Amino acid sequence: MTAHHTIKEHYVQRRADAIKRYRRRPRAARLLHRLSHAADEALQHLKIQHPLPDGAACLALGGYGRQELYPYSDVDLLLLLQAPACPADQRRIEAFIAACWDLGLPISHTVQTPAQCLSLSRRDIRFQTALLEARFLMGQQDLWQQLQLQHQQQICPAQFFQAKRAEMTARHAHYQNTPYALEPNCKESPGGLRDLHLLAWLARVAGLGNNWSEIALSGLLTAAEQKALQRVSQAFMRLRIELHLLTQRAEDTLRFDLQPQLAARYGFVNPNPERPASELLMQRYYWAARLVSQLSTTLMQSLAEQLLPAPKTEIRSIDEHFAVVNRRLKLKNGASLPAHPENLLRAFLLWQQHPETLGFDAMTLRSIWHGRKLVDTQFRQQLRHKKLFIEILQQPRRVYECLQKLNLFNILPRYIPAFRAIVGQMQHDLFHVYTVDQHSLIVIRNLCVLSQSAKQHSLAQQLMSSFPRPYVLYLAALFHDIAKGRSGDHAQLGANIAWQFCHEHELPAQDRQLIHFLVREHLLFSHYAQKKDYHDPAVLQQFIERVDTVEKLQALYLLTVADIQATNPAIWTSWKASLLEGLYQSAYQRLQRHDHSHQFILQERKALLSTELEAVWQQAPPALDFWHSLDEDYFARYPQATIAWHIKSLAPQFTNPTVALRPVVEVDPDTYWQVMAYTQDRPELFMTLCQVFERLDCAIHDAQIYTHVEGWVIDTFVVKPGLALHTDPHGPALLIHELKQALSVNKPREQHPFSYRDERSKRAQVFPIAPRVSLTALDDGHWSLNLVGTDRKGLLFDLAKIFAQWQLNLRSAKIMTLGERVEDSFVFKAEQLQDAQTRQQLIKAIVTTLS
């Protein structure tokens, strides 16, 4: 047996033994230390077989340097040479590294001289940090000690703090500045392990200690804070270990497919059968991440005050309790909070009223955090506290920032107990990307951004800048999802909670009623905009009867825009924006002219179009005959711009099949195309068209089918072309050609454009949506089909095949995709659906397809 093989066997056995001991008693720090020690031993043995260059030293960096080597993390090494490597040195290093990889050590290494290290450290804050916690392994120790001394002398604590704070800001921004993402990275996300490492590095550079105990002795931490940091450090280390062991790789993200398995490893069992055990795991994670964020906020400010002292102390007293010190708001006496608990809220109100202040000083932050327990039933019942809370919401600036900090320091959940239930609550609906509490706060942030935009480009910005009482919208946003997770209609339950809150806070009756309406109906605008033909005056009238005033319309529109944008940045598209704005404009005009009938509106629409198309009548007289043959249903379905485009495209050839395409200028001409197919009606037509769109990677966002009295069909689609088609200058011509080819044959081509087993995401597979399908009878033999399910490639084409198989005459389709969730609506003309058994069989077929 070779020496290499013996070393490898010993190393593998040491790792296995360490993991077995951890499984018997999961003590995270012990496992990381043992894994580090196993790697140390293996490297020491390898050095005998493959000596380093003469006079060299080998150092451990990163987590390995801290003796926190995770099961599948890289083993980071610095090979320190006295002089640049000659060819012989290079060969020795290559042999040593190759032997490490052969052993199974995932080496990540760098080769430097001390002078090179110092130079690189000055340019690269990450390498400077790595040297800070480097650990000597073997070789020439004097060389390392010399570098260590020079490195310590070279570090400027103030510059180091500023560089690391900037690095943290960029890292947090990469992870959306929230610890409440539904798939957080336990190492890099805000509130994760890296934030704990950062505090330790900064404290070391400031000379405050090398561990939490030493840092506490320096006075930077209280005993309670030290205990909390030690506890949460161990919890995060264990979580990262479990992720590595579960995936058998360096995995740090709590992916949806891993969360149930992790919950099982931790032994979580949810007593509520409707909620998976993984929710308990994630709620524990969010509470821990919030604790890290709380302490990090306070300690970063403490370190800033020590490492970046102001050259001159500037003090300006505000009142007997507060002052501004070096542009930071300061509570003069933190011990006075129990006697004056209202200062918990006044601190935030003063921060809003003094925009020149940058924030709070460290002592005030610490006082606020420790004072959170003062918010109890008696605190909530005090009238002055109620007025202060509402006053915070009524300020023109920093509303979101105040609520975010009130939530971070656990004051908001204590002040509104119903809000506490949604803190850290998961959402497995395949389109939300934040916990319920964070989503609600981001809705408020979006509203604040709309109100503070310097240039009022969009409709939402214009409306928000002139909305008379923004605090009403903020409260509606705060309560709109507050009943998520409860049994029953969360919108109605939330409206009841909001009404009680408004009553207790003695809000004016008009504001109470508007907030109650907004929470109860917060899904209404999106429903009508994305799932209804609101161009039809009758449908629009239904919506208006629910909204009934311009103020409600404006408020509901603003809340809806902010809500969708806060759900998942990926699902807010220019198409969705155009649908919402189109409904708003239609409803606004109708509310302004409430005395006009449906018939009057259609006649007015026709009159305006007739004037616009006068040149078409002159150039193509048959077009006027075609125009007169169109019935009221046609003019009710389509917006004015689409009707004008139809007539202009068809004018030259009303008796021939036609395919036309135009960029959707009203939405985004660079992203969406509107496609019209005009042909004689025939079975499987919708399926034929869907097949072409699917084959050319065009996502269908809207579909309207109109059948002329003479048997001609106008099928109109809004599609988003895939990247290949969109970037091809001949893309529109190719799509038109393929559609014409498909329409020129009697039957669709038999082909299978899709090849997949299960193209749903890991999240959709772990948290599938139970398919829901409903059929509702409408007037004149029409039926409405509504379905909810998980999106996948080829789904719409598969549904179209079912419609063709059942000979359903499709009249319209509304395609709504929310992340990976689809909520589609179809209207059919189908006498055969009068039979109950036929309806049941159709629903079963669709459910099977969705499954």
376: CATH: 1.10.110.30
Is 250 in the same domain as 314?
A: no
- Reported as a pLDDT band with limits 50, 70 and 90, residue 755 is very low
- Give me the pLDDT at residue 746, please: 61
Is 686 in the same domain as 723?
A: yes
- Reported as a pLDDT band with limits 50, 70 and 90, residue 614 is confident
Whether 464 contacts 447, CB under 8 Å: yes
Is 582 in the same domain as 652?
A: no
768: left (phi over 0), alpha (psi -120 to 50) or beta: beta
- Give me the pLDDT at residue 764, please: 63
In this predicted structure, which of 33-47, 148-162, 276-290, 810-824 has the lowest mean pLDDT?
A: 810-824
- Give me the pLDDT at residue 454, please: 58
Res 23 pLDDT > 90:
yes
The answer as to whether 384 is a domain residue is: yes
In this predicted structure, which of 474-488, 768-782, 808-822 has the lowest mean pLDDT?
A: 808-822
- Give me the pLDDT at residue 186, please: 96
Rounded Cα–Cα distance for residues 251 and 241 (Å):
9
Q: Could you tell me the CATH number of the domain that includes residue 144?
A: 1.10.357.170
Res 842 pLDDT > 80:
yes
Is 581 in the same domain as 678?
A: no
Please give the residue range of the domain that contains residue 365.
310-415
- Give me the pLDDT at residue 501, please: 97
The answer as to whether 754 is a domain residue is: yes
Rounded Cα–Cα distance for residues 78 and 653 (Å):
77
Q: What is the mean pLDDT of residues 449-459?
A: 76
Quote the number of domains for the chain: 5
Is 242 in the same domain as 288?
A: yes
Is 835 in the same domain as 708?
A: yes
99-103, 609-613, 808-812: which is most confident: 99-103
The more confidently predicted of residues 659 and 623 is: 659
- Reported as a pLDDT band with limits 50, 70 and 90, residue 166 is very high
Residue whose entry in the numeric block shows the structure tokens 């009403």: 472
Of residues 796, 705, 689, 808, the one with CA closest to residue 743: 689
Which pair of tokens denotes residue 527? 């429903």
Q: What is the mean pLDDT of residues 504-516?
A: 96
Is 587 in the same domain as 652?
A: no
Q: What is the mean pLDDT of residues 827-847?
A: 87
Whether 491 contacts 522, CB under 8 Å: yes
Res 748 pLDDT > 60:
no
Of residues 850, 678, 662, the one with CA closest to residue 772: 850
Res 46 pLDDT > 70:
yes
Which pair of tokens denotes residue 87? 């060819």
Q: Amino acid identity of 310?
A: A
Res 787 pLDDT > 60:
yes
- Give me the pLDDT at residue 594, please: 66
Q: What is the mean pLDDT of residues 343-364?
A: 95
**HSE of 309, CA atoms in CB hemisphere, 13 A:** 5
Is 674 in the same domain as 819?
A: yes
For residue range 177-204, list pLDDT tens digits in order: 889 888 999 999 999 999 999 999 999 9
Among 273, 290, 309, the domain-final residue is: 309
Q: Could you tell me the CATH number of the domain that includes residue 771?
A: 3.30.70.260
- Give me the pLDDT at residue 532, please: 84
Angle between helices 550-567 and 459-466 (to 10 degrees): 120
- Give me the pLDDT at residue 754, please: 47
Q: What is the mean pLDDT of residues 572-597?
A: 81
Is 282 in the same domain as 354?
A: no
- Give me the pLDDT at residue 756, please: 42
Residue whose entry in the numeric block shows the structure tokens 């029953």: 488
In this predicted structure, which of 151-165, 222-236, 577-591 has the lowest mean pLDDT?
A: 577-591
73-82, 479-488, 602-611, 692-701: which is most confident: 73-82
CA distances from 173 to 168, 169, 303 (A): 8, 6, 21
For residue range 811-835, list pLDDT tens digits in order: 777 887 777 788 888 888 888 888 8
Q: What is the mean pLDDT of residues 734-757?
A: 68
The answer as to whether 78 is a domain residue is: yes
Res 453 pLDDT > 60:
yes
Q: Is 711 exposed, middle or buried (0-12, 13-18, 19+ CB in 10 A)?
A: exposed
Of residues 840, 824, 830, the one with CA closest to residue 782: 830
Among 415, 443, 459, the domain-final residue is: 415
The answer as to whether 124 is a domain residue is: yes
Is 349 in the same domain as 428?
A: no
Is 210 in the same domain as 247?
A: yes
The answer as to whether 634 is a domain residue is: no
- Give me the pLDDT at residue 760, please: 57
The answer as to whether 616 is a domain residue is: no
Contacts of 175 by beta carbon, 8 Å cutoff, 6+ apart: 181, 184, 185, 188, 189, 190
- Give me the pLDDT at residue 763, please: 65
In this predicted structure, which of 59-63, 158-162, 647-651 has the lowest mean pLDDT?
A: 647-651
Q: Amino acid identity of 697?
A: D
- Reported as a pLDDT band with limits 50, 70 and 90, residue 687 is confident
The 8-class DSSP code of residue 820 comes to T
For residue range 521-571, list pLDDT tens digits in order: 999 999 898 888 888 888 888 999 999 999 999 999 999 999 999 987 777
153-185 b/e (C-beta count within 10 Å ≥ 16 → b) = eebebeebbebbbeebeebbeebbebbbbbbbb
Is 275 in the same domain as 303?
A: yes
Q: How far apart are the first and last CA of the chain?
A: 56
The answer as to whether 606 is a domain residue is: no
* DSSP state letters, 171-230: HHHHTTT-TTBSS-BTTTSTTSHHHHHHHHHHHHHTTS-SSHHHHHHTTSS-HHHHHHHH
Chain centroid offset of residue 364 CA: 32
Res 620 pLDDT > 90:
no
Q: Amino acid identity of 218?
A: S
The more confidently predicted of residues 495 and 577 is: 495
The more confidently predicted of residues 43 and 273 is: 43
Q: pTM of the prediction?
A: 0.86
Res 798 pLDDT > 70:
yes
248: left (phi over 0), alpha (psi -120 to 50) or beta: left
- Give me the pLDDT at residue 665, please: 65
Q: What is the mean pLDDT of residues 640-665?
A: 85
- Give me the pLDDT at residue 752, please: 47
Among 354, 389, 415, the domain-final residue is: 415
- Reported as a pLDDT band with limits 50, 70 and 90, residue 793 is confident
In this predicted structure, which of 285-289, 453-457, 463-467 has the lowest mean pLDDT?
A: 453-457
The mean predicted confidence, pLDDT, of the chain is 89
Res 6 pLDDT > 70:
yes
The answer as to whether 677 is a domain residue is: yes
